[in-house]
Chains A and B, each alone.
Chain A
Amino acid sequence: MPDTGYLPKEKVKDFMRELAKDAVVYAPCLEGDTVIFRPFSEERTLCFDRPANSPPKSVIYPQSEQLFAFEYKKDPEDHQKMSVELKADTNVPGMVIFAARPCDARGFTIYDRVFIDTDTPDPYYKKRRENTLIVTLSCAEPSPGCFCVGVGGGPAHKEGSDAMMTELEGGYFIEPVSEKGKAILNKSMIEDGSPYLQKAQEAQAKAHEAVKNPFETDKLKISQDLFNNDAFWEEAVSKCVSCGACTYLCPTCYCFNITDEQASGKGERIRSWDACMFFHFTLEASTHNPRPTRFQRFKNRVGHKFVYYPEKYDGAIACCGCGRCIRYCPVSVDISEIVSNLTESGQKQQQTAGSAKK
């Protein structure tokens, strides 16, 4: 069997139908003028020509999911006595994420360390992750705000992908990354990829050149002095409105809430996405709030991605540079600019310029 594959453009839908035989295939689909990952079906309009507005994180980490159901039951002998029954279901169908961008796939590896590589793995996330095949589409050109190369990724970076497609003139070159990804080369519509290898590599290299690196060096060095300087944060996020859009659209944000819903003696405990940008996120019942201001919350968000997470996980940055928080921020807060200003070289520039380099 050849190491690589090639999928002619006219056979893309056939290929997706084939994958959909034993899995739910999530693909970027056009809804109005936004692109969102939806279960593939014939009536949907696929859209591969720009990154989806929201990442496919909800496929593996749903915006809202049941942790367990509970039911209060009356004791038949003694009606004053109630018992409780709990039921947890971690079964999920096979799934495919199709034509996600490499940054989105890499986002899942950032979750893996937190949700799987721990002494208390999350069974819901783990099961979905194990049951999902991720076929990415490398980026031909950057979108506004993209900075994947600044955080160790790239438009054809393969970490997190099971297989990667690269668009060529008449079709897609396919490189398997994992064992799971290799299996798709067996599908009947996949041709031998070797004649296209060189063209694909050229396309990938060209795309890499086109992505800007907002940081001076490859090794990000955050200045502790600046990071701990409240005035820096107050200025940096003075326009932030704490709407939380950045967190919901982020392929690496994973903060969540747990709540109970109940109706007449039974209900469920639910886990839902939450956002550290909200005042209520850390508000305690005593009314004490450890992060009451917008700048403290923003500092925590940037800190988590660029300082705290790397501290815990061997220097890995919890940002994949997809640029969505920059593209869709209603007040144009730019995390790459803020982090760049936080670096030691950024600090030097500020000193010589006498003010923030904005």
Chain B
Amino acid sequence: MTDIKNPYLPELATVLRVIEETPNIKSFQVAFNDPEKMKGFTFQPGQVGQLSVFGVGESTFVINSPPTRMEYLQFSVMKAGEVTAAIHNLYPGDQVGIRAPLGNWFPYEEMKGRNILFIGGGIGLAPLRTLILFMLDNRSDYKDITIIYGSRTPPDLCYKDELKEWEERSDVNLILTVDNEYPGWSKRTGFVPTVLKEVAPSPDDTVAITCGPPIMIKFVLEGLAQLKFRDEDIITTLEKRMKCGIGLCGRCNIGSKYVCKDGPVFSLAQLKEMPDDV
């Protein structure tokens, strides 16, 4: 036959490093076993990969390291089900499979020369991280960068080292919040959508990118509309149960769009055209 690439066959990879981000989120830095494969691998910020633990299964995660830093690929995994529990049991040296890159990406070309507003909640910072780091590595291409990020409690904040770094940078405006007062926490408290209203960033020449739990996204979208952001300037990235990752297996569709292939990145303008079974 027809020597076509087998899209179901993962590329073998090794876990290099495991980082405990929060009590239930770990990040895994992995590299393909084949150094040539690692050298030739390219992806765009926002694209996802299927991470396999052979014998348990595979799940979809965004590649949250940026394409500007290619020593490894990083996936952040919240322990929620069978596969994520198996991933949490991985140690450096363990073998995994990767099918990547899959899906579309953030339209960063169209964001050039504009102000960027990131709004994230909990593990929802993961897909934003790839774009934040990518933009910081190409800092002069973008105007003001504002990041509003929140979690339930301070220990639930992801990427604590990077948050500290961003806080210290003069060219990043980082606003952190946790849901309630917490011993030792001196920064803002309150839900992310409420903090968004308090900060009230200007929609002028600004594109907003948001990701977080569905309920947070819902109220953030409402908040952005009140601040007069245009639907085309509001970008989000969706999550769904996925199996094939190539638009065949039928479970991640919203109408005729497959989140794995046509997404995961959509603008609010696009989402409004789609049925509402998100």
Contact of B9 among A88, A258, A307 (CB under 8 A): A88
Given contacts A67-B9, A304-B253, 18 further A-B contacts (CB under 8 A): A72-B55, A82-B94, A84-B12, A84-B95, A130-B2, A228-B275, A256-B249, A258-B58, A259-B57, A262-B54, A274-B249, A274-B250, A281-B251, A282-B240, A282-B251, A285-B82, A290-B277, A312-B256
How many residues of A sit at the interface, in one of the four size bands? 35 or more
Task: Count CB-based A-B contacts (< 8 Å).
Answer: 129
- CB of A94 closer than 8 Å to a CB of B: no
Max chain A Cβ within 10 angstroms of own Cβ: one of B57, B250, B254: B250
Q: Which of A287-303 contact B (CB under 8 A)?
A: 288, 290-291, 296, 300, 303
Contact of A290 among B1, B10, B278 (CB under 8 A): B278
- CB of A315 closer than 8 Å to a CB of B: no
- Residues of chain B at interface, number, CB under 8 A: 43
Minimum CB–CB distance from B19 to chain A (whole Å) comes to 21
Residues 29-52 of chain B: 1 if any A CB is under 8 Å from the residue's CB, otherwise 0? 000000000000000000000000
Max chain A Cβ within 10 angstroms of own Cβ: one of B9, B97, B240, B251: B251
Q: Decide: B277 and A70 in contact? CB cutoff 8 A.
A: no
A300 touching B253 in the complex, CB below 8 Å, given contacts A258-B58, A285-B80, A290-B277? yes
Q: Decide: A130 and B249 in contact? CB cutoff 8 A.
A: no
Q: Decide: B95 and A83 in contact? CB cutoff 8 A.
A: yes
Minimum CB–CB distance from B206 to chain A (whole Å) comes to 30
Q: Decide: A269 and B243 in contact? CB cutoff 8 A.
A: no
Contact of A118 among B8, B247, B251, B255 (CB under 8 A): B247
Residue of A nearest to B33 (CB): A83
Residues from chain B with a CB closer than 8 A to the CB of A282 are 240-241, 251-252
- CB of A260 closer than 8 Å to a CB of B: yes
Residues from chain B with a CB closer than 8 A to the CB of A72 are 54-55, 95
Q: Which of A301-342 contact B (CB under 8 A)?
A: 303-304, 307-309, 311-312
- CB of B6 closer than 8 Å to a CB of A: yes
> 23 A-B contacts, Cβ less than 8 Å apart?
A70-B54, A83-B95, A86-B54, A90-B1, A115-B248, A120-B5, A121-B7, A122-B7, A123-B6, A126-B4, A257-B243, A257-B249, A260-B56, A271-B8, A282-B251, A283-B241, A288-B214, A290-B254, A290-B277, A303-B255, A304-B250, A307-B255, A307-B256
Residues 255-287 of chain A: 1 if any B CB is under 8 Å from the residue's CB, otherwise 0? 111111010000101010010100001111110
Max chain B Cβ within 10 angstroms of own Cβ: one of A84, A123, A257: A84
A309 to B253, CA, bound (A): 11
Q: Decide: A285 and B81 in contact? CB cutoff 8 A.
A: yes
- CB of B246 closer than 8 Å to a CB of A: yes
Q: Which residues of A contact B (CB under 8 A)?
A: 67-68, 70, 72, 80-84, 86, 88, 90, 114-115, 118, 120-123, 126-127, 130, 228, 254-260, 262, 267, 269, 271, 274, 276, 281-286, 288, 290-291, 296, 300, 303-304, 307-309, 311-312
Contact of B256 among A88, A256, A285, A311 (CB under 8 A): A311
Q: Decide: B8 and A68 in contact? CB cutoff 8 A.
A: yes
- CB of B93 closer than 8 Å to a CB of A: yes
Residues from chain B with a CB closer than 8 A to the CB of A308 are 253, 255-256
Residue of B nearest to A283 (CB): B241
A309 touching B256 in the complex, CB below 8 Å, given contacts A123-B4, A260-B55? yes
Residues from chain B with a CB closer than 8 A to the CB of A82 are 94-95
6 tightest CB-CB pairs across the interface, nearest first? A285-B81, A255-B250, A262-B55, A308-B256, A285-B80, A311-B256
- CB of B84 closer than 8 Å to a CB of A: yes
A327 to B252, CA, bound (A): 29
Q: Decide: B244 and A258 in contact? CB cutoff 8 A.
A: yes
A84 to B241, CA, bound (A): 26
Residues from chain B with a CB closer than 8 A to the CB of A304 are 250, 253
Minimum CB–CB distance from A117 to chain B (whole Å) comes to 12
A228 to B273, CA, bound (A): 12
Residues from chain A with a CB closer than 8 A to the CB of B57 are 258-260
Residues from chain B with a CB closer than 8 A to the CB of A123 are 1-2, 4, 6-7
Contact of A256 among B80, B95, B240, B250 (CB under 8 A): B250
Minimum CB–CB distance from A73 to chain B (whole Å) comes to 10
Residue of B nearest to A255 (CB): B250
A283 to B240, CA, bound (A): 9
Residues from chain A with a CB closer than 8 A to the CB of B12 are 84, 86
Q: Decide: A254 and B248 in contact? CB cutoff 8 A.
A: yes
Residue of A nearest to B81 (CB): A285
Residue of B nearest to A111 (CB): B248
Contact of A126 among B2, B10, B251 (CB under 8 A): B2
Residue of B nearest to A78 (CB): B93
Residues from chain A with a CB closer than 8 A to the CB of B97 are 84, 86
A355 to B191, CA, bound (A): 47
Q: Decide: A300 and B277 in contact? CB cutoff 8 A.
A: yes
Q: Decide: A286 and B80 in contact? CB cutoff 8 A.
A: yes
A302 to B249, CA, bound (A): 16
A130 to B1, CA, bound (A): 9
Q: Decide: B250 and A276 in contact? CB cutoff 8 A.
A: yes
A194 to B181, CA, bound (A): 89
